[in-house]
Chain A
Amino acid sequence: MNKSKITIKNISKIFISDEMETHALRDINLTIDHGDYLSISGPSGCGKSTLLSLLGLLDQPTSGQYFIENKDVSQLTLSQAAEIRSKKIGFVFQQFNLIDEISVFDNIALPLKYNPQVFTKTEVKARVMNCLKKVGLDHRTYHKPNQLSGGQQQRVAIARALVADPAILLVDEPTGNLDSKNGDIVMELLEQLNRAGTTICMVTHDPRYAAMAHRQINLLDGEIIETQIIKEEI
């Protein structure tokens, strides 16, 4: 995995609708180093998912700067943002968001298709199988997503996020649609991945899972009100 450092400086996001301005984020400053495991918590509407969208280049900030590996990515075109997402960012969603029509293998291989780097079939297969082994689902390679349990689907989603070897894994409520047993399995997997060097930034409601991160930041009304160091980075 690449050496990485993510820095955001004075980031704000304002949503304008029906002549009403909503400050979703105000002057956020944050640094995520390589191997970091950060959790973002806070009540509904505090701006957690907005922050995750900005970190994942799914949206642009209204003001402020965003650097990935010292490159300013605050105001990229859609295509430039897509290229960085395909190379540097892996996403895990609450609803898993696997594509039902294609197999587990093809779902995991999908980011490689969008990556500007051209991969041979052998390389694709090697990467997909490697990721499937990491999440313990190499025996489900050619199943369709709807043939898997919720926990298994989320593990496939994590494998998909890892396949392009991203600089950071952005995880949005990974256990929100899972029972506690499957939630624990997924969180354990994320912890293993972090121990193996994957940088993770996770949004969660659950204080138990938030505490599994190295650092926890709490948001309220679009501002960081607290940063807790839970454990030192390895």
Chain B
Amino acid sequence: MNDFLLEMKYSIVSLLKAPIFFLSIVITLGLTFGALITAFALNHLIFVEPLVYNDHERLVVANQVRVKNKAEKGEGFQSYPALIKWFNNNEVFSEQALIQINPTQLTGIQSQPKVNVSFVTPDYFSIANAPMLQGRAFNQNEGLNNQKPVAVITKKLWLEYFNQADNILGQTISVEDVNYTVIGVLSDKFIQPQVFMWKQESDIFLPWDFNFDSPFIRKNWDSFMPYNLFIGKLKPDISQQRAQLQLTNLIQNDFTEQIQGTDYWAGVSLQARLTSFEHTIIGDSHTTSALFFAGVLALMLIAFSNAINLFLSRTAQKQRKMAIQVALGAKKAHIFREILAESTCLVIAATVLSIFVSLAGITLLQTYASDLLPRLEELRFNFTTLLFVIIISIIFALTFALVAANSINYHRLNTVLQTSGKGAGLQISSRTRMILIASQVTLTIVLLTVNFSLLFEAMATINQPSGINTDDTHYLTLSTGKNKLSSDELQLHARGIKKTLEKQPDIASVAIVSSNPLSPRMSRSVFLPGAPKNHIRTNVLIVDNDYLPLMEHKVLKGRNFSHSQVKDKADVAIISKALADALYPDNSALNKYLLYFDKQLKIIAIIENIYNPSKWISKKMIFLPSYTSQLNFIVKRQPNIELSKSTLAKAIGQFDHNVRIFSYNTMTEILENKLARDIAIAAITVVLSILTLFLAAVGLYGVLSYGIKMRQYELGVRMAIGANPIHIVTQVLSDNAKAIGFGLMLSIIAILFVTTGSFHLGSKPLQLGILPTLIAILITVTLSLLVSLLALNGVANKAPVNSLRLTDS
């Protein structure tokens, strides 16, 4: 052991004298191994580690689906009275909870910060294994219909807004002007179950009774909302199918009775669909996670083969030293121990770097991929990960040493000394070299093609014009807090605030809207007159006559709403081109009619589609004229002027001091937020492409320079018998071209396989385009040729004697 440590000490000294070799291996191996460790930790979490919730195999999410002619739709959207029916009457759950999640404001704090609130029933905390830092969770006295204004807050909220006050329990916290008494603080170890379609952490938990749903939604069976959910723990003797049947039976009759008589719901039944917690939380992320691992593994394999090539090259360089050792009596085991000591030093350095890289990778995933992958808050560098790191590191060190040791012909080492280094030495066969080059080229082309395909797709989304001009515009939503106003009063308020804002010198114009045109919250069905059963689902935006000019939303045909049409809520509509094409495919929609509820609306204009990066938003949109009863505005500021929130708040306060700003963002920010995923994909693919090219360049350089080193004497002979530098370059390029061509062929087969197979990245099919493939091929082939030329440095551009190394005999 002492001898081995001594060998390692010598190796460190030797490696420090070869810094380029050392850094090349440590960086390529460290970066990719780090990424592999991250991918391993993620896959272990998703595929192997059970959910942290007690009896998780019995935990389910109960969803409602609308079924018509055996076709299901609407999963993820719940009818409020149906949820309450389940909660009060089922006999299949031992524990159950209702959850509503919403953004809100802490109005008791000066800055009125926006936070997320979950309205829950008491069992939520036991189902979710919520550990308390202080106080307690809700008890049954704070359950349904008890109207107890209590709150449980997260440690994060306690730290951020209560400065970690010791006396937090019993303090009052004000949410939307309603006061709640804090009864508990959750531990930061609490992992909130991500059971909604979107991933969102809550900062504060309030009793279900105080949820934001209006009385209308609370009693209407045909209003389906995505932010309400039912979760439960099945009794041990109840199967999922049986529970599903009982829950369906509980709501089916009520639903049919409540919605009967409307054409839209004719033949539709409401049914329960139970999904396990595991399926709900992880969803189709197994594929994404596995693909992530596969992609990183491919990079790792490139880096690994690169490192082996470089290591072989170094072993070849050390053959003379080893020959002297053999001549002095070194046995095969001595030579192997020396090689193993050096590979161990390299792998230790690379592993240390890889651990830092993996920790950074885990943080990056948690920061930027929480929308794409589940359970990331549980992702840790744990004991299993450490074990993985140790095993793989040992495999790396042993593989390097074994491959290098196998490349040495121990019995021929003495000939190295006998021939004064004239052309004899270590060799890996030209076939092996060809396979190494071809594999590098194949992996590089495939990885670049995947990266470029994703990059091009993301860039197309990012560069797609939105159809509206978001420059200098802000989206503003206001709240009246405790001061509840009627619909008519709200309309009057909206017009009054609009007039107040328009008087501000920094503001160019203001439009009243029902919601942000990039996130239209209302979705309804429209019909062609005479075909009431053929409905088309569209997004609805209620706007005044200033909306179109303010947003520079292009009118393709027709005209804008007039002031009187807005004031009178006239029976007219402006529709997007997508909806016009759906209603009247013969391009004749203008001045024709559509049915909206029971009203016949005249189509007075067709406008450009709003291109929305969110896959949930349809391009089919209808714009209706009215002063909406919601205090939502689009504000266009004067060019080159900053419009601060405080300026706006002051102006609004002059109109009504009870009205406060709920949200205030530039439209450009909102658009960029929607593009965040595509921007992240673009950035990641660019980084991965550069990393791939770097690894490929190092790898190819390793193989090619090794190959040239092995051939250097032969090339010297060619030069001696008359070959000039161009002949040498041509010879080497033509030899390498075979391997590169072979790699190219393999990569095309792999790309065709991926293209024809049904591979998915998340929920999206992986599509590889022709242009990305061609660019990947072009870049890889160019890189291979450039690296070939680089590897010839010192041979073709030097006098032949350098290659021949003629020594006096």
Residue of A44, A58, A164 touching B804 (CB-CB under 8 A): A58
A114 within 8 A of B: yes
Q: Is the CB of A91 within 8 A of B721?
A: yes
Return chain A residues, CB-CB under 8 Å to B419: 95
Return chain B residues, CB-CB under 8 Å to A53: 801, 804, 806
Q: Roughly how many angstroms separate A13 CA and B808 CA in the complex, as a whole number?
A: 14
Q: Is the CB of A52 within 8 A of B806?
A: yes
Q: Is the CB of A114 within 8 A of B724?
A: yes
B800 within 8 A of A: yes
Return chain A residues, CB-CB under 8 Å to B799: 58-60, 78, 81
Say how far B707's CB is from chain A's closest CB, in angstroms: 14
Q: Is the CB of A172 within 8 A of B806?
A: yes
B141 within 8 A of A: no
Q: Is the CB of B804 within 8 A of A86?
A: no
Q: Roughly how many angstroms separate A42 CA and B727 CA in the complex, as a whole number?
A: 35
Q: Is the CB of B807 within 8 A of A49?
A: yes
Q: Is the CB of B809 within 8 A of A59?
A: no
B797 within 8 A of A: yes
Q: Is the CB of A58 within 8 A of B809?
A: no
Q: Roughly how many angstroms separate A53 CA and B807 CA in the complex, as a whole number?
A: 10
Q: Is the CB of A83 within 8 A of B717?
A: no
Q: Which of B573-625 contact A (CB under 8 A)?
A: none
Q: Is the CB of A82 within 8 A of B725?
A: yes
Chain A residue at minimum C-beta to C-beta distance from B711: A99
Q: Is the CB of A93 within 8 A of B722?
A: no
A94 within 8 A of B: yes
Q: Is the CB of B808 within 8 A of A44?
A: yes
Q: Is the CB of B721 within 8 A of A50?
A: no
Chain A residue at minimum C-beta to C-beta distance from B798: A78
Return chain B residues, CB-CB under 8 Å to A79: 724-726
B770 within 8 A of A: no
Q: Is the CB of B721 within 8 A of A110?
A: yes
A173 within 8 A of B: yes
A35 within 8 A of B: no
B348 within 8 A of A: no
Q: Is the CB of A95 within 8 A of B725?
A: no
Residue of B717, B724, B797 touching A93 (CB-CB under 8 A): B717
Q: Is the CB of A59 within 8 A of B801?
A: yes
Q: Is the CB of A85 within 8 A of B720?
A: yes
A58-B720, A78-B724, A82-B719 known; A46 vs B809 contact (CB < 8 Å): no
- Tier of interface size on chain A: 35 or more
Q: Could you say which of A79, A82, A91, A172 has the most chain B C-beta atoms within 10 Å of its C-beta?
A: A82
Residue of B714, B801, B804, B808 touching A46 (CB-CB under 8 A): B808
Q: Roughly how many angstroms separate A58 CA and B719 CA in the complex, as a whole number?
A: 8
Write out, one digit per residue, whether chain B residues 419-441 have a CB within 8 A of any chain A CB (1) or not (0).
Answer: 10011000000000000000000
Q: Roughly how many angstroms separate A97 CA and B721 CA in the complex, as a whole number?
A: 11
Residue of B423, B720, B727, B807 touching A56 (CB-CB under 8 A): B720
A205 within 8 A of B: yes
A59-B799, A79-B726 known; A111 vs B808 contact (CB < 8 Å): no
Return chain A residues, CB-CB under 8 Å to B798: 78
Return chain A residues, CB-CB under 8 Å to B809: 44, 48-49, 94, 173, 176, 203, 205
A47 within 8 A of B: yes
A48-B809, A78-B797 known; A91 vs B720 contact (CB < 8 Å): yes
Q: Which of B92-114 contact A (CB under 8 A)?
A: none
Return chain A residues, CB-CB under 8 Å to B720: 56, 58, 85, 91, 93
Return chain B residues, CB-CB under 8 Å to A87: 722
Q: Is the CB of B423 within 8 A of A95?
A: yes
Q: Is the CB of A83 within 8 A of B808?
A: no
Chain A residue at minimum C-beta to C-beta distance from B717: A97
Q: Which of B308-335 contact A (CB under 8 A)?
A: none
Residue of A44, A78, A161 touching B721 (CB-CB under 8 A): A161
Chain B residue at minimum C-beta to C-beta distance from A48: B808
Write out, one digit per residue, whether chain A residues 53-78 have a CB within 8 A of any chain B CB (1) or not (0).
Answer: 10010111000000000000000001
Q: Could you say which of B723, B800, B807, B808 has the most chain A C-beta atoms within 10 Å of its C-beta?
A: B808
Q: Is the CB of A114 within 8 A of B718?
A: yes
Q: Roughly how many angstroms separate A111 CA and B798 CA in the complex, as a whole number?
A: 20
Say how far B739's CB is from chain A's closest CB, in angstroms: 15
Chain B residue at minimum C-beta to C-beta distance from A91: B720
Q: Could you say which of B713, B722, B800 has the most chain A C-beta atoms within 10 Å of its C-beta?
A: B722
Q: Is the CB of A47 within 8 A of B808?
A: yes
Return chain A residues, CB-CB under 8 Å to B718: 110, 114
Q: Roughly how many angstroms separate A46 CA and B798 CA in the complex, as a whole number?
A: 24
A58-B800, A58-B801, A97-B423 known; A85 vs B722 contact (CB < 8 Å): yes
Q: Roughly how many angstroms separate A157 CA and B809 CA in the complex, as a whole number?
A: 19
Return chain B residues, CB-CB under 8 Å to A81: 799
Say how far A53's CB is from chain B's closest CB, in angstroms: 5
Q: Is the CB of B722 within 8 A of A114?
A: yes
Residue of B713, B723, B800 touching A114 (CB-CB under 8 A): B723
Return chain B residues, CB-CB under 8 Å to A110: 718, 721
Write out, one digit per residue, whether chain B residues 714-756 have a CB within 8 A of any chain A CB (1) or not (0).
Answer: 1001111111111100000000000000000000000000000
Return chain A residues, CB-CB under 8 Å to B725: 78-79, 82
Return chain A residues, CB-CB under 8 Å to B713: 97
Return chain B residues, CB-CB under 8 Å to A215: none
Say how far B73's CB is from chain A's closest CB, in angstroms: 68
A160 within 8 A of B: yes
Chain B residue at minimum C-beta to C-beta distance from A101: B430
Chain A residue at minimum C-beta to C-beta distance from B804: A58
Q: A82-B724, A85-B722, A86-B724 are in contact. List 10 more A-B contacts (CB 8 A).
A: A44-B808, A44-B809, A48-B808, A49-B806, A49-B809, A53-B806, A59-B799, A83-B722, A113-B727, A164-B722
A-B contact pairs, 20 of them (CB 8 A): A47-B808, A52-B806, A58-B799, A58-B801, A81-B799, A82-B723, A83-B724, A85-B721, A86-B724, A87-B722, A97-B713, A97-B714, A111-B722, A114-B718, A114-B721, A114-B722, A114-B727, A172-B806, A203-B809, A205-B809
The 7 closest A-B pairs by CB, nearest first: A86-B722, A82-B724, A114-B722, A59-B801, A97-B717, A58-B801, A58-B800
